[in-house]
Amino acid sequence: MKAVRFFGHKDVRVVNDMEKPSPTGDEVLLKIGAAGVCHSDLHIIDEGTVAGAIFTLGHENAGWVEEVGPSVKGFKKGDAVLVYGPWGCGHCKPCQHSAENYCDHQSELPFGGGLGLNGGMADYMLVPSSRLLVPIYDLDPIIAAPLTDAALTPYSAIKRSLHKLMPDEFVVVIGIGGLGHVAVQILRATTGATIIACDVTQDRLDFAKELGAAYGINSKDADAAEQIKKITGIKKAKVVLDFVGATSTIELGAKTVSLDGDLTIVGLGGGNFQYNMMELPFGVSMTNPYWGSRTELMEVIGLARQQKIHINIEKYKLDQALEVYDKLRNGKIKGRAVLIP
């Protein structure tokens, strides 16, 4: 079968000679509908964040059950499912709470399919346990694949701040890409806060406004923080969600977050923040959330089935993987690209 394989730093190839796996025990073989192309893949490919392993890329996966191992219960051939991406031990307390993204054993396990183990940029994917499958009912797997990360990650980041996102408050969203364009929609669907979007091109700022942002600010402007404070007034933004994570965006967040606000850094842009007691307003919680839980993924599916969130999808074939990564590198994907076998 065909697969997009990571061989090491800056070495990705589409191969045709992978063997189609067969499930044993509680494993499930999935016929892939689509695999989303996430900026995290570029951190792996270009920066070598997952060193030493050779594997099939793709950690945003959806498809149909093709074959189940002998001990699988509750799934049958043809069921449409998402693959929950962060694969924990399955037994520790966070995993029992379905939060495998915070599994106690994260430091000793590969991060999951497409992140050290074989992922879904292939004709078929072997999922190690049926516990990692979430049914999507009437949703189309091709459209639903990015829900597993591009929607789940911002959903989980927003949920921890929901109690602060009241209708008289402001929320800043930095980076209107795969994750950010869904974040704007989740904020609109689940909160009453006024959304201020930041990106570096007018096209992305216009896109954010179409999706529900009230304002768009170019974060490259030297006075971006002043422009945001002109909108919020003295109270500033109760929550800042940074989907870039560069030093400049973290600093922008620190300048615009309010007293007792949340500065939430999701982007893995490698930025640094020099903590100084007087540089951050008092009471700010600074967090670096990772992905989301399985039950949160079910809630995300609820939002999608109610048509409250729509992923803006660009469809490509598996053979186009290298071209698509190049487009993503150069900021040329609007919303999320998916690879379809």
How far is Cα 115 from Cα 217, in angstroms, rounded to an integer? 33
85 touches ligand NAD by CB under 6 A: no
The structure tokens 């590198």 sit at 329
Listed ranges 19-27, 64-72, 130-138, 238-246: which one lies at the site for ligand NAD (CB under 6 A): 238-246
CA-based nearest residue to 110, from 59, 68, 69: 59
Least distance from ligand NAD to the Cβ atom of residue 282, Å: 26
Of ligand NAD, Zn ion, none, which one does residue 88 interact with (CB within 5 to 8 Å by kind)?
Zn ion
Of ligand NAD, Zn ion, none, which one does residue 63 interact with (CB within 5 to 8 Å by kind)?
none
The structure tokens 């004709």 sit at 123
Residue selected from 30, 82, 125, 176 as contacting ligand NAD according to rule CB under 6 A? 176
Least distance from Zn ion to the Cβ atom of residue 89, Å: 4
| Bridge partner list, 288 | none
103 touches Zn ion by CB under 5 A: yes
How far is Cα 178 from Cα 151, in angstroms, rounded to an integer? 8
The structure tokens 């806060």 sit at 193
Which pair of tokens denotes residue 156? 């989980």
Interaction mask 177-216, ligand NAD, x per CB under 6 A: xxxx-----------------xxx---x------------
| Kind plus residue range of the DSSP H or E element containing 63 | strand 61-68
95 touches Zn ion by CB under 5 A: yes
Least distance from Zn ion to the Cβ atom of residue 106, Å: 8
- Are residues 269 and 40 in contact, defined by beta-carbon separation less than 8 angstroms? no
How far is Cα 97 from Cα 106, in angstroms, rounded to an integer? 15
12 touches Zn ion by CB under 5 A: no
92 touches Zn ion by CB under 5 A: yes
The string of DSSP letters for 223-243 reads THHHHHHHHHGGG-EEEEEES
Q: Which is nearer to ligand NAD, 193 or 246 (CB)?
A: 246
Which pair of tokens denotes residue 106? 């994260």
Q: Which residues bind ligand NAD (CB under 6 A)?
A: 38-40, 43, 149, 153, 174-180, 198-200, 204, 219, 243-246, 248-249, 266-269, 290-291, 328, 331
Q: Which residues bind Zn ion (CB under 5 A)?
A: 88-89, 92, 95, 103
